[in-house]
């Protein structure tokens, strides 16, 4: 999933571009919606059929809703696709992975030759958390049933060559895929069609955005929302948005006084607009923690006071050396 802060970016109104249940986007890419719209998934999760032959690659599977399998079946028949060669999962969040059992069941030729499911397998699972991270991945699909993918691996199908790149930050197993024939990129939850997303590790996330930019994609097929035609500009805007947030957090702390101790909640209230949808305040506080962790790794902010039970009541202050040098 992709907790989006669209409402914040658009002054409190969430305006989503309507997307059809399935759409042919290029000679080798068809988008099929996961049928799971919501305030955190925009129009729902985008899944993509890749290739031009009778058997294609499916990128992501939605969250496992019944309607999705039927929608996928219709889309496949519309584009002359009779089967799935492989499924590739961008990352472990259940709105991308949850459809694997039902899709494999529906499209495998037999129980003894199931559609293979490819995914990067991290050494350690990230701890589960609310929303997109509420279900641990191997509860959905056992670890030993995945075919592991590595950074730079290639899957070929008729009409398309798909190369995957490890791009962590939103999740520690996050992949993007480049379709080499059209220099397009499946950006999953790293860059969304509308609004911005959440991330677990800002330092890794910024490095991944840079890596995506270095791959010079012509357009992005995101995990949520419409196709992004101005790929490089959008990636730049994401980086600038994040760095702007870092500056805002530092500014809010400086405004409170060089040695003031502020909780995560206080900083979030100072940085985000007062009319932010209460449902998005949790993800916003989460992003503030990530910014503070990033500032801490840069020795620009530090935790202070006792370790609280509730992480959002943790107090933080600016590092004196950083504030003295005006960073």
List residues near Zn ion by CB under 5 A: 93, 132, 189
Cα–Cα nearest to 267, from 299, 232, 201, 311: 311
* Locus of tokens 């959008």: 234
**Contact status, residue 49 vs residue 26, Cβ threshold 8 Å:** no
Residues in CB range of 235: below 8 A, 6 or more apart: 191, 209, 212, 213
Considering beta carbons, is residue 187 or 288 the nearer one to Zn ion? 187
CB of 73 to Zn ion, least distance (A): 25
**What is the nearest approach in angstroms of Zn ion to the Cβ of residue 59?**
14
Residue partners of 316: CB distance under 8 A and separation at least 6: 253, 261, 262, 263, 264, 267, 292, 301, 302, 303, 304
- Supply the minimum distance, in Å, between the C-beta of residue 39 and Zn ion: 15
Give the shortest CB-99-to-Zn ion separation in angstroms: 14
Neighbours of 5 (CB within 10 A): 20
Q: Look up tokens 């039970």; give the residue.
A: 309
Give least dist CB 5 to Zn ion, A.
Answer: 14
| Minimum CB distance to Zn ion smaller for 93 or for 234 | 93
Closer residue to Zn ion in complex, CB, 146/199: 199
Radius of gyration (C-alpha) of the chain in whole angstroms: 21
Distance CA 55, CA 48 (A): 13
- Token reading at 202: 């800002």
- Our CB check for Zn ion shows the closer of 115 and 192 to be 192
The structure tokens 């500009």 sit at 233
Min. distance of Cβ 45 from Zn ion in angstroms?
9
* CB of 125 or CB of 319, closer to Zn ion: 125
Measured from the CB atom, is 217 or 283 closer to Zn ion? 283
């Amino acid at each position: 999933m992709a907790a989006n802060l669209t409402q914040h970016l658009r002054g409190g109104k969430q305006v989503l571009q309507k997307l059809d249940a399935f759409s042919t986007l290029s000679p080798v890419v068809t988008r099929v919606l996961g049928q799971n719209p919501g305030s955190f998934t925009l129009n729902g999760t985008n899944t993509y059929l890749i290739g031009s032959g009778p058997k294609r690659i499916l990128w992501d599977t939605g969250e496992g809703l019944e309607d999705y399998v039927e929608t996928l079946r219709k889309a496949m028949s519309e584009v002359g696709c009779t089967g799935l060669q492989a499924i590739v999962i961008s990352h472990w969040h259940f709105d991308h992975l949850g459809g694997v059992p039902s899709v494999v069941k529906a499209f495998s030729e037999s129980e003894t030759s199931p559609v293979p499911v490819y995914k990067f397998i991290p050494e350690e699972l990230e701890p589960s958390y609310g929303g997109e991270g509420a279900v641990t991945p191997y509860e959905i699909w056992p670890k030993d049933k995945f075919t592991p993918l590595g950074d730079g691996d290639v899957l070929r199908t008729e009409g398309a060559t798909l190369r995957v790149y490890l791009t962590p930050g939103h999740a520690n197993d996050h992949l993007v895929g480049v379709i080499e024939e059209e220099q397009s990129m499946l950006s999953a939850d790293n860059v969304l069609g509308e609004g911005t997303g959440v991330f677990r590790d800002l330092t890794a996330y910024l490095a991944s955005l840079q890596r995506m930019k270095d791959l010079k994609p012509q357009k992005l097929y995101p995990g949520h929302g419409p196709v992004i035609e101005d790929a490089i500009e959008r990636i730049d805007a994401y980086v600038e948005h994040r760095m702007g947030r870092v500056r805002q957090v530092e500014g809010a702390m400086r405004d409170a006084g060089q040695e003031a101790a502020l909780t995560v909640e206080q900083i979030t209230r100072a940085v985000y607009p007062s009319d932010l949808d209460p449902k998005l305040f949790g993800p916003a506080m989460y992003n503030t923690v990530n910014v503070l962790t990033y500032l801490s790794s840069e020795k620009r902010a530090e935790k202070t006071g006792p370790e609280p039970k509730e992480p959002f009541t943790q107090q933080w202050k600016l590092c004196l050396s950083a504030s003295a040098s005006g960073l």
